[in-house]
């Protein structure tokens, strides 16, 4: 799959990365649209304090505000009724790169809705 990876200030690369495997409590989603928040931009520009003091570790995948389509559900996902192609959206500061949604960390911030098929 493709991912935008930030290797340092003003150094973003579109590259092929391995598709993550969902754990038992995860949904694997195909990201269709991703937003870039102010913090993402300040990390990219190098103005974020964590970039300046070295606490931000590169490379990283920005874009924790996204929407997309569910591809697979882990075997332990409860309360998920539907299959591949359902819409999902996340706006969270707790995320795992490349659209792997960790249910126990973001349950109040994720919505899986509708029946739109890919």
- Segments forming the whole domain that contains residue 52: 2-113
Q: Average pLDDT in the 51-62 region?
A: 92
How many distinct structural domains can be found in the chain?
Answer: 1
pLDDT, mean of residues 91-96: 50
Q: Give the global pTM.
A: 0.66
What is the domain-level CATH number for residue 15?
3.90.180.10
So what's the pLDDT on residue 107?
40
47/25 Cα distance (integer angstroms): 36
pLDDT (mean) for 57-71: 85
Residue 118 included in any domain: no
Q: Residue 3 above 60 pLDDT?
A: yes
28 part of a folded domain: yes
pLDDT of 66 strictly over 70: yes
Residue 113 pLDDT greater than 70, yes or no = no
Out of 22-26, 82-86, 103-107, least confident range: 103-107
Residue 56 lies in a domain: yes
Mean pLDDT (the chain) is 76
The per-residue pLDDT for 81 is: 64
């Amino acid at each position: 799959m493709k991912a935008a990876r930030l290797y340092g200030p003003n150094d973003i690369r579109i590259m092929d990365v391995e598709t993550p495997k969902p754990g038992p409590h995860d949904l694997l989603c195909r990201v269709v649209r991703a937003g870039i928040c102010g913090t993402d931009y300040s990390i990219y520009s190098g103005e974020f304090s964590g970039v300046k003091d070295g606490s931000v570790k590169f490379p990283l995948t920005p874009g924790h505000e996204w929407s997309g389509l569910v591809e697979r559900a882990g075997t332990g996902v409860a309360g998920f009724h539907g299959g591949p192609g359902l819409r999902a959206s996340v706006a969270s500061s707790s995320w795992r790169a490349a659209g792997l949604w960790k249910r126990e960390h973001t349950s109040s911030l994720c919505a899986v809705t509708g029946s739109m098929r890919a």
